């Protein structure tokens, strides 16, 4: 069974946030502070759940992949990771100050976890060496953090025996949070599929955060992120891997959201 960690006595269960649908994907009207409070409450008293960190790629792929869509609709919370999604939410009349960026959410959670001795399991990474480097970097950055296990899956579907072995390993580790970094849509589908089999209170899919924190891929400067141009920065650094994704989904998102806005958009304050 998952371990329980003490919380401040005055902390009450956090209610789910309001959501707004962007291209039929419900996105939470939330921020880092609420998300971290909610995660802490989930670890303390449940119910078990999982978090999807959504960007334009996630939202657009869900329109073509019914299994991904079901995973998003079944999640506990879908947080808006991409700056264009924040702009879309604002355009629909919902004030949201900023995004909940996966790598930053991971950093804040690990900083907090190092103080309250939460137990973290890492599932993902480009290979086992990259996963080891990620764990080393995070341990150095957050002294006292408890990494209780990790596994970098092969780039193919796991066999039933491999899946069972991973399940046993995670449950044996008594993790509080399983951090999942295997990319969209695999991580969302994996969390949806594995949620009933895992004792860990919380699964959090953070995608590229594993590569960033392992030092394998540079993060865009803050001003580029705020300008909504992180995709261009990432494309410049990984053109062969990412060009099809951005060429396909970015223009389609603009067109599809323009249709949604024309249908039900409103100007804030009117």
**CATH (domain of 181):** 3.40.50
Q: What is the pLDDT of residue 235?
A: 84
Q: What is the pLDDT of residue 46?
A: 75
Please tell me the distance from the alpha carbon of residue 49 to that of residue 201, in angstroms, as a whole number.
6
Residue 13 domain flag: no
Q: Residue 166 has which token pair? A: 């991973």
Digit-by-digit pLDDT tens for the chain (270 residues) are 434 433 333 344 557 789 999 999 999 999 999 999 999 999 998 789 999 999 999 999 999 999 999 999 999 999 999 999 999 999 999 989 999 999 999 999 999 999 988 999 999 999 999 999 999 999 999 998 999 999 999 989 999 999 999 999 999 999 999 999 999 999 999 999 999 999 999 999 998 999 999 999 888 888 888 888 888 888 888 888 887 888 899 999 999 999 999 987 654 433
Structural domain containing residue 54: 19-222
β-strand pairing of 202-205 with 25-28: unpaired
Q: Using N-to-C axis directions, what is the helix angle for 102-116 and 128-141, rounded to 10°? A: 60
Q: Does residue 41 contact residue 7 with C-beta atoms inside 8 Å?
A: yes
Q: What is the pLDDT of residue 45?
A: 82
Collapsing DSSP to helix, strand or coil, 49 comes out as strand
Q: What is the pLDDT of residue 265?
A: 65
Residue owning tokens 């958009």: 265
* Cα Rg of the chain (Å, integer): 18
Residue 255 domain flag: no
SS (H, E, C) 74-132: HCCEEEECCHHHHHHHHHCCCCCCCCCCHHHHHHHHHHHHHHHCCEEEEEECCCHHHHH
Q: What is the pLDDT of residue 5?
A: 39
Q: What is the pLDDT of residue 153?
A: 96
Collapsing DSSP to helix, strand or coil, 269 comes out as coil
Q: What is the pLDDT of residue 268?
A: 40
Q: What is the pLDDT of residue 14?
A: 55
Number of domains observed in the structure of the chain: 1
Residue 177 domain flag: yes
Residue 256 domain flag: no
Residue 197 domain flag: yes
Q: E-strand spans in 116-261?
A: 119-124, 146-151, 177-181, 202-205
Residue 259 domain flag: no
Helix (H) or strand (E) holding 66: helix 66-74
Residue 179 domain flag: yes
Q: What is the pLDDT of residue 6?
A: 36
Please tell me the distance from the alpha carbon of residue 167 to that of residue 218, in angstroms, as a whole number.
32
Residue 214 domain flag: yes
């Amino acid at each position: 069974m998952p371990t329980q960690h003490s919380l401040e006595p005055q902390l009450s269960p956090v209610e789910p946030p309001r959501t707004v649908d962007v291209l039929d994907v419900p996105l939470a009207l939330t921020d880092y502070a609420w998300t971290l409070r909610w995660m802490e409450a989930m670890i303390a008293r449940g119910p078990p759940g999982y978090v999807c960190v959504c960007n334009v790629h996630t939202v657009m792929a869900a329109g073509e992949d019914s299994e991904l869509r079901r995973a998003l609709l079944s999640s506990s919370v879908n947080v808006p990771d991409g700056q264009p999604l924040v702009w879309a939410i604002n355009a629909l009349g919902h004030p949201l100050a900023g995004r909940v960026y996966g790598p930053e959410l991971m950093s804040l959670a690990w900083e907090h976890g190092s103080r309250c001795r939460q137990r973290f399991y890492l599932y993902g990474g480009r290979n086992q060496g990259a996963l080891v480097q990620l764990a080393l970097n995070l341990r150095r950055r957050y002294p006292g953090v408890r990494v209780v296990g990790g596994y970098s899956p092969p780039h193919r579907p796991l066999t039933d025996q491999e899946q069972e072995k991973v399940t046993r390993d995670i449950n044996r580790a008594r993790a509080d949070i399983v951090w999942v970094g295997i990319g969209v849509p695999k991580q969302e589908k994996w969390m949806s599929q594995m949620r009933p089999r895992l004792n860990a209170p919380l699964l959090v899919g953070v995608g590229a955060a594993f590569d960033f924190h392992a030092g394998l891929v540079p993060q865009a400067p803050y001003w580029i992120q705020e300008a909504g141009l992180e995709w261009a920065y990432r494309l410049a650094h990984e053109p062969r891997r990412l060009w099809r994704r951005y060429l396909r989904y970015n223009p389609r998102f603009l067109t599809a959201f323009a249709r949604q806005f024309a249908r039900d958009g409103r100007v804030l304050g009117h």
